[in-house]
Amino acid sequence: MPAALVTGSSRGIGRAIAERFARDGYDVAVNYVSSAQKARAVAESIQRETDSEAVAVRADVGDPDDAADLVEATVEAFGDLSHVVNNAGIDQHVHTEDLSPEDFDRVMDTNVNGAFNVTKAALPHLKESAASEKADADSAPTPSVTNVSSILAYTGAPIECHYAASKAGLLGLTKSHAGDFAPEIRVNAIAPGHVETDMTADRTEEEAKSEMEKIPLDRFGQPADIAEAAAYLRDAGFVTGETLNVNGGELMR
């Protein structure tokens, strides 16, 4: 059975992607940093409710050694790595004048460097998977990397410039890697709009109303909406170097 690694998948969007991949027949590595109990619960749920296997693996993807260990743990568990979803990310609401260089670097380390670290470590295994699939005409889609960016990569964000900058950086990384790894490996990105997760739970009713007024489809996104996009990009054999904007029409490009 092919295997996938989803970083930052103990909750929210990452969890939804991991669960969707498992339902679609992929073994899944569930990555976390501090939410061990939640990650184990996701892995146990996958094994209980699907025919797929799952393991929970702790790793700080901003650390190159941790990222390499995460990839190796995935391959050791499943004997394969065909798809990577770089979803791990952290956010912080703070104005630039109050933003420390250390906090700026911390967000960049996780959101951008983390995607680079995991992709670089996974590359030999993705190439091996590509070579194996090339020999099998009836194999699954070519290996892929999907980076989870944000609508803020386009719009910017007044109180989280480092987060917006990190998500914009992911788009450049996506296009660069798509050209670098073709034709064996496809690399794409997803740019979600406002999605209801733990990261948005602290917004006020007034803030939620203001945000809703900008969305033509008149609802906030759900993690399952982003998982649907990730599944599409996983299987879209003629799509690489693209960003799929999933935002209910809030930003039409």
**41: Cβ contacts below 8 Å, ≥ 6 apart:** none
pTM for the full predicted model: 0.94
On whether the CB atoms of residues 35 and 10 are closer than 8 A, the answer is: yes
| Percent of the chain with pLDDT strictly greater than 70 | 95
233 in any annotated domain: yes
On whether the CB atoms of residues 16 and 224 are closer than 8 A, the answer is: yes
194 in any annotated domain: yes
109 in any annotated domain: yes
210 in any annotated domain: yes
252 in any annotated domain: no
**Position 16 pLDDT exceeds 80:** yes
Residue 44 pLDDT level (bands cut at 50, 70, 90): very high
Instruction: Give me the catalytic one of 26, 32, 154, 163.
Output: 163
Task: Render pLDDT for 27-41 as a digit per residue (tens, 0 to 9).
Answer: 999 999 999 999 999
pLDDT of residue 139: 53
Q: How far apart are CA 201 and CA 197, in angstroms?
A: 6
The two beta strands, 83-86 and 54-58, are unpaired
Tokens of 61: 């993807």
Q: Number of folded domains in the chain? A: 1
Could you list the residue range(s) of the whole structural domain that residue 165 is in?
A: 3-246
Task: Render pLDDT for 86-105 as a digit per residue (tens, 0 to 9).
Answer: 999 999 999 999 999 999 99
Tokens of 243: 């960003």
Residue 32 designated active-site: no
Please report, for the domain that includes residue 132, its CATH number. 3.40.50.720
Residue 253 pLDDT level (bands cut at 50, 70, 90): confident
Q: Tell me the DSSP string of the chain.
A: --EEEESS-SSHHHHHHHHHHHHTT-EEEEEESS-HHHHHHHHHHHHHHSS--EEEEE--TTSHHHHHHHHHHHHHHHS---EEEE---------GGG--HHHHHHHHIIIIIHHHHHHHHHHHHHHHHHHHHHT-TT-PSPPEEEEE--THHHH--TT-HHHHHHHHHHHHHHHHHHHHHTTT-EEEEEEE-SB-SGGGTT--HHHHHHHHTT-TTSS-B-HHHHHHHHHHHHH-TT--S-EEEESTTSS--
Query: Phi, psi at residue 194, to the nearest 5°?
Result: -80, 110
Exposure class string for 152-172: b at 16+ Cβ within 10 A, else e: bbbeebeebbbbbbbbbbbbe
Tokens of 8: 């930052």
251 in any annotated domain: no
117 in any annotated domain: yes
Q: How far apart are CA 29 and CA 41, in angstroms?
A: 13
69 in any annotated domain: yes
